[in-house]
Amino acid sequence: MTRITVRPVAGHIGADIGNVDLAQPLTDSDLRTVKEALHRHKVVFFRGQALDHAAQIAFARQFGELTYAHPHDDAPPEDHPEIFTIDPARFEQRYGADFVAEYRKRQYSYFDGWHTDVTAAVNPPAGSILRAERVPEFGGDTTWTNLVAAYQGLSAPLRAFVDTLRAEHRYGGSRRVEGDSEYARRINDNLLVAVHPVVRVHPETGERALFVNPGFTSHIVDVHPSESKRLLELLYAEITRPEYTVRFRWEPGHVAFWDNRATAHLAPRDLAHLDVERRLHRVTLIGDIPVGPDGRPSELLSGRPFTADHRVVTNA
């Protein structure tokens, strides 16, 4: 029998895991190996797997309970409420032809931009597992960054300062989604807002990570707006430094599994002008409530924790 292998692929983040078939239940020893690799390397890649929705869900459940597809999505594939499909064509069919172009202009979208998944929730997902079904011949890579390395790279005085800060995260960025489209109503009528520590202590490794991201963080609380803006600019410059990142080239069947408590990722920005198909499916593990270095947990300001339970208000 060939043993599972773990091969780091970049200096600070990312490892390829080989000799394992994710369509089969993992042995206890392989499960341990994958968990350890995830904690150490933050994102792990499994190439050339043959998973369908049910097999992806079964694989993910070995690591914890799963959330519903997405807090604002009520159209997961039939019989698979856990699957969130990332495909611009799906949104275009649902919300109209102009939607995708408008959506891309936003601070954050599922088609581009740095983010950590669903940090507007008081309990952002602990981990995410993304599987590629269709990918373009070129382009469409995803990049991840190590938020623990970014924290450790700060000088000691700056680390001590950011340890004391808290920041608001809201779905749709710093403002309401504009307009009166079905999509805008769906987001604005189901606001998801939380205040998290800027530095999060990982519940399993004890490591500290910079827990802000341009996708969801609206501002740092209790400081002047201009201070918040400049502090966030500084922190975003740190978390997106190339040395903390790894870039992954997708092929159909490839799977990426990341620790959402210690990473941010960049969905691709290089496809908007091309007429190509890109379709991936994501599941997310239900997360815990972040805690800062002072032991203070995050606070929910609007919405509900992100779990398997799903309710979206649609005021016509």
Report the catalytic residues: 115, 117, 265, 282
- Per CB under 6 A, the list member of 49, 67, 109, 142 interacting with ligand SIN is 142
Q: Going residue by residue from 181 to 220, which x/- string records binding to ligand SIN, judged by CB under 6 A? A: ----------------------------------------
Contact set for ligand SIN, span 78-97 (CB under 6 A): 86
Structure token digits, residue 26: 């993992």
129 binds ligand SIN (CB under 6 A): no
Shortest distance, position 102 Cβ to ligand SIN, whole Å: 18
CA distance linking residue 285 with residue 127, whole number of Å:
5
Of 41-49, 119-127, 171-179, 262-270, which segment contacts ligand SIN by CB under 6 A?
262-270
Of 174-182, 263-271, 299-307, 308-316, which segment contacts ligand SIN by CB under 6 A?
263-271
Site size for ligand SIN, by CB under 6 A?
11
Shortest distance, position 180 Cβ to ligand SIN, whole Å: 26
Shortest distance, position 293 Cβ to ligand SIN, whole Å: 27
110 binds ligand SIN (CB under 6 A): yes
Query: Which CB atom, from 119 or from 128, has the smaller least distance to ligand SIN?
Result: 128
- Per CB under 6 A, the list member of 38, 167, 280, 283 interacting with ligand SIN is 280
- Per CB under 6 A, the list member of 170, 282, 283, 286 interacting with ligand SIN is 282
Query: Which CB atom, from 84 or from 244, has the smaller least distance to ligand SIN?
Result: 84
Q: Which residues bind ligand SIN (CB under 6 A)?
A: 86, 110, 117, 128, 130, 142, 265, 267-268, 280, 282
